[in-house]
Amino acid sequence: MIVCPVTLIKNWSQEFKKWLGKDRVRVIVGDSKQAIETFMYSKNYDVIVIGYEKVREHVELLKAAQPPIGLVICDEGHRLKSDKTKTSKALQSLSCMRRVILSGTPIQNNLGEFFAMLADFVNPGILQNADHFKKNFERPIMAARQPDASSKQRQEGAEAQETLAAIRSHFVLRRENSVIVQHLPAKYEYTVFIRPTDLQRAVYREALGNSAIKTMLEGFDVKTGISLLQTLLKLATSPGLLLKQIKVRRLPCFANSNAFPAGTDSADFALSGKFSVLGAMLAELWKSGVEKVVVVSNYTSTLDLIETHCKRQKYPYCRLDGKTPQQDRIPMVDAFNRGPRSRNFVFLLSSKGGGTGLNIIGASRLIQLDSDWNPSNDLQAMARIHREGQTRVCVIYRFLTSGTVDEVIYQRQLTKLALSGSIMAGEGTASSSKSKNTFTADELRNLFTLHEDVACQTHDLLGCRCHLGEPAVDENDAAESESSGDHDDADSSDDDFEGGFVQASQYRDKDSERALARKRRDLSILKTWTHYNTRDLDRVDQIEDILLLSVIYEALERAKLHTSLPKLQEADQNLCGGQIAFVFGQKAGAPAPAAVVSGDE
Ligand SMILES: [Zn+2]
């Protein structure tokens, strides 16, 4: 029995046919009670592919299968991260002897998930029970990580960690992306930092100028915090998203706003830095004639604006979001992949609308417009085009608006990925099972600050000096001031993001130096990326993606005209809205360049 999200059922059936032919293994889709019964009582089928919901619904029926089901495979098995969910319980009650979990993101938050999902579901009893696990592994490991841990506690923590790693190695099989990547065309990834427009900054400042913010940092009000955060997130994408609400004075922080000139059009791409770049990229790609593109956002309102733009520019597009009926999804993807570009150019995808498992290999470019608090959501979305069957070199762009909340979310993602990587690699880090979804006072301030004149605040935080032509700070410098494995603010579950605000108000950052060092270490993965400061044209010329390169130059030329400065060099000292300010780039599969952070390499 293959259990998977509904969106993947068709994929699974197709894969069986593709790899094993029609007759070797006979597959039935368990989409109705009748189908399940057919599977159970007839000898004609070997495999049933079934959605998680249907398993829950028909578990009693499945239990009665004769002969009993001999192997359960749970695809996207991180859904079972709590042993208390109905789905977990249903699957456990099947008492099938062999259970396999497939997951690209096995540890999203904490050790408790590791116990429930990886250990106890596939190997019931291997770590005895939850209490035993807590007592013998989780607690000592956590205690050892406290700043005031005694040497005995550290010792015990290290031993527990080691034992756990040994047990884990018996049943966890890691297959890194690199295994597949060898068989695929190259993939380039660019994190693109874009200068906000003047209007964008003005409205952002207005939102932050609200007195509520000042009081907020003293005694944090969750409601105000969240609604402000949502406002900022929208602004980081485009002020156009708020135009209507501001005009009718629905948002208190804009009660007296006159930021928008009369007649402003909310779908005008020139309002926003990100959209300016997006517009230029789409135009360039359309002209160049061969490639198709996926544009991803977490917000349907953002997709609405892009849809309007596509209509106006007469770009053929399709759109898949939460409202797209299940049965229309695969046909839509197929049509996009196979159809001519004159009918399928842009694929608008809502990352929360069920993008998992879709193979949108007709496109070789993907633009991710906004970032989610949970990095695995973004990684899922960004993986849509670089998959089996892809024949072109792929380029993936993640857009961030410089100096805004976008950067904070991105940094948070990197921190989380650092955590998950170290647990799976068996390194000495782990995290608490309680969701300590805190923001330090500094982080909170950062969240609600517009860093006006930065090209890339993340790069500044990293402490890298490549933009000055100097080598970066040694990675060890940053980590030295701290004991290793101290990831104590990295284990948040942002599903319940609100919790973070409450706790954050009680948090006092005693040592911001130390916090900065920790931050640097968490971001240190970026040192394996290549850094392109766009004010350094020699550096820009090293960008391998011609599209990105041409968009950067085009904007520079525009800025030159705009500022009427005599030389390009002078224009680029003062970046204009919509210009690309900084880029992190990496090529998948390629070994990390040795001196990536050195400016004169
Ligand atoms: Zn750098």
Residues 6+ apart with CB under 8 A from 559: 571, 572, 574, 575, 576, 579
Cα(417)–Cα(412) distance, rounded to whole angstroms?
9
Nearest of 577, 120, 180 to residue 383 by alpha carbon: 180
Name the strand (E) or helix (H) holding 414.
Answer: helix 405-424
| Å from CA of 472 to ligand 1 middle | 6
Residues of the chain short of pLDDT 50, as ranges, are: 426-437, 475-509, 565-572, 590-601
| Measured torsion, CA atoms of residues 83, 87, 93, 94, in degrees rounded to the nearest 10 | -130
CA angle, 552 then 553 then 558, to 5°? 100
C-alpha closest to that of 87 among 99, 77, 96, 97? 77
Cis peptide before 67 (omega within 30 of 0): yes
**Residue 465's Cα: distance from chain center in Å?**
27
Find the 374 Cα to ligand 1 centroid distance in Å: 25
Residues 6+ apart with CB under 8 A from 209: 253
* Ligand 1 center–CA 491 separation, angstroms: 27
Using the mean position of ligand 1's atoms as its centre, give its distance from the Cα of residue 581 in Å: 13
Alpha helices, H only, 463-497: 475-480
CA of 583 to the centre of ligand 1 (A): 10
CA of 179 to the centre of ligand 1 (A): 29
Q: Which amino acid is at 464?
A: C
In the reported structure, the alpha carbon of residue 199 is separated from the centroid of ligand 1 by a whole-number distance in angstroms of 29
Separation of CA 471 and ligand 1 centre (Å): 8
Q: What is d(CA 153, CA 157) in angstroms, rounded to the nearest whole number?
A: 6
CA distance 231 to 165: 43
Q: Is 435 left (phi over 0), alpha (psi -120 to 50) or beta?
A: beta
Distance 531 CA to ligand 1 centre (A): 5
The rounded Å distance from CA 596 to ligand 1 centre is 8
Spatial contact of 548 and 192, defined as CB atoms under 8 Å apart: yes
Q: Report CA(196)–ligand 1 centroid distance (Å).
A: 21
Distance 309 CA to ligand 1 centre (A): 35
Give CA–CA dist 356/383, Å, rounded. 9
Tokens representing 239 are 């002020």
List the structure tokens of 148. 């005031």
**599 CA distance to ligand 1 centroid (A)?**
7
**229 C-alpha to center of ligand 1: Å?**
29
Q: Please, are residues 80 and 101 in contact by the beta-carbon 8 Å criterion?
A: yes
Instruction: Identify the bridge partners of residue 317 per DSSP, sorted by sequence position.
Output: 346
Compute, in angstroms, the gap from residue 540 CA to the centroid of ligand 1: 13
Judge whether 4 and 49 are in contact, CB under 8 Å: yes
Distance 582 CA to ligand 1 centre (A): 10
pLDDT tens-digit readout, 196-214 = 999 999 889 888 886 556 6
| 280 alpha carbon – ligand 1 mean position (Å) | 26
Find where tokens 């000292």 sit.
Answer: 573
Beta bridge partners of 50: 3
Find the 302 Cα to ligand 1 centroid distance in Å: 31
Is the CB of residue 369 less than 8 Å from the CB of residue 297?
A: yes
Structural domains present in the chain: 2-177 (3.40.50.10810), 181-196+402-493+511-601 (no CATH), 197-269 (no CATH)
Distance 282 CA to ligand 1 centre (A): 28
Task: Return the pLDDT at 545.
Answer: 94
Ligand 1 centre and the CA of 369: distance in Å? Answer: 23
CA 252 to chain CA centroid, Å, is 31
Q: What angle do CA 241, 320, 387 make, to 5 degrees?
A: 115
| Widest distance between CA atoms in the chain | 82
